[in-house]
Structure 1
Amino acid sequence: MWKNLIAKLRQVMYRMGLIRGIKSVYDKKEIPINETFFNQIDVWKALYSGYHEDFHKVKYHTLNGTRTRRMATLNIPKVVAQELATLIFNERCEISISDPAFEENVKEVFRRNQFEREFQRYLEYTFAMGGAVVKVFADDSGVRLGYVTADCFIPLSWDQDRIREGLFVSEIRRQAKKYTHLEWHIWEGSEYVIRNELYESSGEDLGVKVPLATLFPDLQEEVRIRNLKRPLFVYIKPNTANNFDTTIPLGIAVYANALDTIKSLDIAFDSFQREFRLGRKRIIVPTAAIRTVIDPQTGQAHRYFDASDEVYDAFNFDQDSDTIKDISVQLRVEEHINAINALLNLLAMQIGFSAGTFTFDGQGVKTATEVVSENSKTFRTKQSHEIVIEEAIRELIEIIGQVGELYGFFHAPSEYEVTITFDDSVAQDKNADALYWIQLVNSGLVSKQMAIQRVLGVTKEEAAALLKEIQQEQQTVTAQAVDFFGMTSGGEG
């Protein structure tokens, strides 16, 4: 009671200007990271959304003074992030768990939380902003998954590259007020603690702490959990070294080191669009030809040419005052297209794609649809990112097992194997791949079980079961064939 009363008193004093609120969440002493790096995330997010003021707000001068306009953009960061996310994770990605019961429970959690759709969407945000977080929690319906973008998560402590504690930040606008919800995930000894705080502000600062019941009447201020092996969230990032701040475990956007190229691309595309407006056909006519003549009978004005037509420009000729001149500017379409394609090839190199992956045909950016060679830069980049994505999915499954066990929804086995088979159809011929493993088996270089595991993308146990089933079928077929030809012990003597 007293706690809520004090909070409400501080809220009133803050509104009256008698006390100051916290300027920024980064000013809280528990946060070991300053906001410099998060300013970079804001830049990557702005470029992904299609407008970054430093890039796309253009000033130009006219006879009427300085004006501003919005530069046209190819929005290539969106294209890059979407293409990479689609290459790596889609509906063809297969996740297998060696324990059948646990596998069914996990896949049911995925189905109820629309994991395939949401994970691909947030994987795109991961490549665009440098990271994303998947939280696991429980409600009356079962185990739930929550997704958070990089700009709403702050790491608090980490071990090597694994984040152990974190802060989730979400903003809510209600009329003229801004509310900020802080959700702390921290360890206190062997206990995992989740704390919730709510702050109110009338400006852009964090403001003052207010009761949770202001917005979340059913939310507890603190939850303590025992017997957890790892935090209830998994941080996902691109497999690209963070050269902006090597001391923190956060990732960077895949195009973070190609901002100059992205800006040059938008400048070239903007120039390409303006080429048609600024290079339009013009007819120069003498000023005498557009003088207004007033009809004395009706009072109406008459012109020799329509002065509102943009084709005509008046000019006071020194000579040949009666001359009409047609000025047609040659458009530099091919030059612009070639320049944009050259920049697209440079961008592809910077982000790990093969040259020619992105092309501009004068109407928009297209991506290569042909089969990607296994030796291509695009395929190697895809496999590189799959390493960290695969590990993140394994950790997510482990957390789902923890939460399911904790709240009694299902049992999680102590030992199991997770196999994740990404969709490599863009780069692999399945028939050729199967033939390759058959040849290795026939040469005695690998076992049949390993070949089944690699070709079908199943676990070691599943491959062993399939091999046993195949051998049993072959024995049955052989016995039937022998009996058919009368070669059994009960046949002719």
Structure 2
Amino acid sequence: MFKNIVARIKAVMYRMGLIKGVKKLAEHKDIQVNEEFYKHIDDWKALYKGYFSAWHDISYTTISGTKKRRMATLNMPKVVSQELATLIFNERCEINISETSLSENIHNVLKDNNFIKKFQDYLEFKFAMGGMVIKPYVAEDKMKLSYVTADCFVPISWDHDRIQEAVFPNEFRRGDKKYTHLEWHVWEGEEYVIRNEVYENKGSDDLGVKVSLKQFFPNLEEETRIIGYNRPGFVYFKPNTANNFDPASPLGISIFANALDTLHSLDIAFDSYQREFKLGKKRILVPDSAIKTVVDPETGKVSRYFDADDEVYQAFNMGDSEDKIHDISAELRVEEHISAINSLLNLLAMQVGFSSGSFTFDGDGVKTATEVVSENSKTFRTKQSHENLIEAGIQELVGAIVQVAELYDLFERPAKDYEVTVAFDDSIAEDQNAEISKQVQLVTNGLTSKKKSIMKIHGFSEEEAELLLKEIREDSATATAEGIDFFGMNRTSGGKKNAEVS
């Protein structure tokens, strides 16, 4: 009862202006990111989901007046984002860590969090919306990984290396009220501070008034201060594409951000292709008198010359020629539509970094042709370009996991420096046998070292390659000695065999 009274008093005070709400998130702290940029993220998200009202809600005019309908879509933003994410990261990718005990601990964390599947999903979201974030944290004495999409991440400060501070907004509803949870990650001197706040929204544009955190998140602390962090408690991933919308921003852009006109044209063409069958269906004009009922004078049976319920027939008052029947069926332009859609798909492929012909439309749906890709193709170069940033992000993620694990005594940081490498799946470019043959030829011709070839073939770090090379040399030396003894080739200094064969 008391809480309700206080709530009513607060509501009155808010309306009187005695309690000020935060109008916008940017007014809450010195946030340098342009809020208008998030309008683009919302648009990219809508296109990825397959429904962008500005495009797909269309009006058209008929004899009976203006009507509305939803445009059909190929949903190519989803297709290109999924295809690129699948090409880059899958279950064949390996994360290699040079320090053995750390490698075991990190792989246990990744396995417990179903990292391979989750990371591939969020890579897709990253390509579609321009970025994503992973936050390691501890719950119930276990390391957890939290994934955040681009629309729920606002950077506060950054340098040339990484984003240093950020806030994670999350909107939710309770009944008819909207609330916003803000999770701040900021530096205050040597301390890394995590703050949690909840605001109750009173209007469409306002962040609202700060309310009690515990009533919604009883297990969260309002403030946590950490000493000993050497990096932020989150890792930001973005596509390796320059942000031409806001060059000063650290945020990434969608891989299809500069292909919106092409995407719109594709949906227009596909919508027209679908409607071609509806609007071009068979139609026959018959005299309106021919669909009237006729009574047989002898039997009294009522009948029609044509079935009035058959939509093929259209009644028309033809005047002098009312005894004629006209077939006005239009010729379907199927091939013309397919050709137009394929030309647009080739343009889209070029704009998002795929080779021409990567996507084709055959009338049943879009087919992809990225199973085998040459190393000098545009698709493969785009793949490698994005892999560079992803590998750097995974290296940052391992460092973030290590510092959280050290804070909660889950496992210790290695005493010496360690190396993190990612072996991506390049089987789309050539099979493993071809890669091995190429490396053997390079070593034979003195164009690379055995260690470099081992690193390339197995995706090993330099230390791992050195260990394997040492084992190979030891096995080779042992095999050679055994072979000499087996064939009785071990000779004395006089040149005679130690054992004569009788």
Q: Calculate the TM-score normalised by the size of structure 1.
A: 0.94
Go from structure 1 to structure 2 and tell me whether the alpha carbon gap of 1:13 and 1:347 turns closer, same or farther (over 3 Å shift): same
Distance, in Å, in 2 between the alignment partners of 1:353 and 1:388 is 18
Aligned twin of 1:63: 63
Post-superposition Cα deviations, 1:347-377, rounded to whole Å, max 9, x if no partner, equal 1111111100000000110100441011101
Distance, in Å, in 1 between the alignment partners of 2:332 and 2:60 is 22
Contact 2:135 2:233 in 1 (8 A): yes
Matches within 5 A, 1:360-399: 360-399=361-400
Contact 1:197 1:221 in 2 (8 A): yes
Shift of the alpha carbon at 1:344? 0.3
Q: Is 1:152 the counterpart of 2:152 in the alignment?
A: yes
Go from structure 1 to structure 2 and tell me whether the alpha carbon gap of 1:7 and 1:89 turns closer, same or farther (over 3 Å shift): farther
Contact 1:280 1:328 in 2 (8 A): yes
The one-letter code sitting in structure 2 at the alignment partner of 1:407 is Y
Q: Is 1:425 the counterpart of 2:427 in the alignment?
A: yes
Instruction: Give the 3-state SS of the residue equivalent to 1:212 in structure 2.
Output: coil
Aligned twin of 1:335: 336
The one-letter code sitting in structure 1 at the alignment partner of 2:112 is R
Contact 1:86 1:120 in 2 (8 A): yes
Aligned twin of 2:438: 436
Contact 1:131 1:150 in 2 (8 A): yes
Contact 1:176 1:202 in 2 (8 A): no
Runs of 5+ consecutive residues of structure 2 not aligned to the other structure: none
Post-superposition Cα deviations, 1:224-251, rounded to whole Å, max 9, x if no partner, equal 0011110010110000000000111000
Shift of the alpha carbon at 1:27? 3.5
Q: Is 1:324 the counterpart of 2:325 in the alignment?
A: yes
Contact 1:167 1:182 in 2 (8 A): yes
Distance, in Å, in 1 between the alignment partners of 2:455 and 2:203 is 58
Q: Is 1:491 the counterpart of 2:498 in the alignment?
A: yes
Shift of the alpha carbon at 1:83? 0.2
Contact 1:161 1:249 in 2 (8 A): no
Q: For this pair of structures, how many residues does the alignment match? A: 490
Shift of the alpha carbon at 1:17? 7.1
The one-letter code sitting in structure 2 at the alignment partner of 1:449 is K
Distance, in Å, in 2 between the alignment partners of 1:107 and 1:293 is 83
Shift of the alpha carbon at 1:447? 2.5
**Deviates most, 456-465 or 381-390:** 456-465
Distance, in Å, in 2 between the alignment partners of 1:10 and 1:461 is 67
Distance, in Å, in 1 between the alignment partners of 2:191 and 2:394 is 24
The one-letter code sitting in structure 1 at the alignment partner of 2:201 is S
Instruction: Give the 3-state SS of the residue equivalent to 2:321 in structure 1.
Output: coil
Shift of the alpha carbon at 1:420? 0.8
Instruction: Give the 3-state SS of the residue equivalent to 2:320 in structure 1.
Output: coil
Post-superposition Cα deviations, 1:119-161, rounded to whole Å, max 9, x if no partner, equal 0000000000000001111122321110000000000000025
Aligned twin of 1:455: 457
Post-superposition Cα deviations, 1:181-219, rounded to whole Å, max 9, x if no partner, equal 000000000100000000122553322111001211121
Q: Is 1:467 the counterpart of 2:466 in the alignment?
A: no
Runs of 5+ consecutive residues of structure 1 not aligned to the other structure: none
**Deviates most, 392-401 or 155-164:** 155-164
**Deviates most, 269-278 or 172-181:** 172-181
Instruction: Give the 3-state SS of the residue equivalent to 1:218 in structure 2.
Output: coil
Aligned twin of 1:401: 402
Go from structure 1 to structure 2 and tell me whether the alpha carbon gap of 1:6 and 1:356 turns closer, same or farther (over 3 Å shift): farther
Contact 1:171 1:178 in 2 (8 A): yes
Instruction: Give the 3-state SS of the residue equivalent to 2:482 in structure 1.
Output: helix
Aligned twin of 2:222: 221
**Deviates most, 52-61 or 427-436:** 427-436
Go from structure 1 to structure 2 and tell me whether the alpha carbon gap of 1:144 and 1:275 turns closer, same or farther (over 3 Å shift): same
The one-letter code sitting in structure 1 at the alignment partner of 2:462 is K
Go from structure 1 to structure 2 and tell me whether the alpha carbon gap of 1:167 and 1:10 turns closer, same or farther (over 3 Å shift): farther
Matches within 5 A, 1:53-132: 53-132=53-132
Aligned twin of 1:353: 354
Instruction: Give the 3-state SS of the residue equivalent to 1:66 in structure 2.
Output: strand
State the identity %: 59
Post-superposition Cα deviations, 1:5-58, rounded to whole Å, max 9, x if no partner, equal 999577533786766633332342432223200000000000000000111011
The one-letter code sitting in structure 1 at the alignment partner of 2:457 is V
Contact 1:11 1:208 in 2 (8 A): no
The one-letter code sitting in structure 2 at the alignment partner of 1:401 is V
Contact 1:482 1:488 in 2 (8 A): no
Alignment RMSD: 2.5
Q: Calculate the TM-score normalised by the size of structure 2.
A: 0.92
**Deviates most, 190-199 or 287-296:** 287-296
Distance, in Å, in 2 between the alignment partners of 1:62 and 1:22 is 48
**Deviates most, 122-131 or 198-207:** 198-207
Alignment counterpart, residue 482 of structure 1, candidates 472, 481, 484: 484
Shift of the alpha carbon at 1:450? 2.0
Aligned twin of 1:287: 288
Aligned twin of 2:34: 34
Go from structure 1 to structure 2 and tell me whether the alpha carbon gap of 1:95 and 1:11 turns closer, same or farther (over 3 Å shift): farther
Aligned twin of 1:180: 180
Contact 2:14 2:20 in 1 (8 A): no
Q: Is 1:257 the counterpart of 2:258 in the alignment?
A: yes
Instruction: Give the 3-state SS of the residue equivalent to 2:182 in structure 1.
Output: strand
Instruction: Give the 3-state SS of the residue equivalent to 2:69 in structure 1.
Output: strand
Matches within 5 A, 1:288-307: 288-292=289-293, 303-307=304-308
Distance, in Å, in 2 between the alignment partners of 1:237 and 1:255 is 13
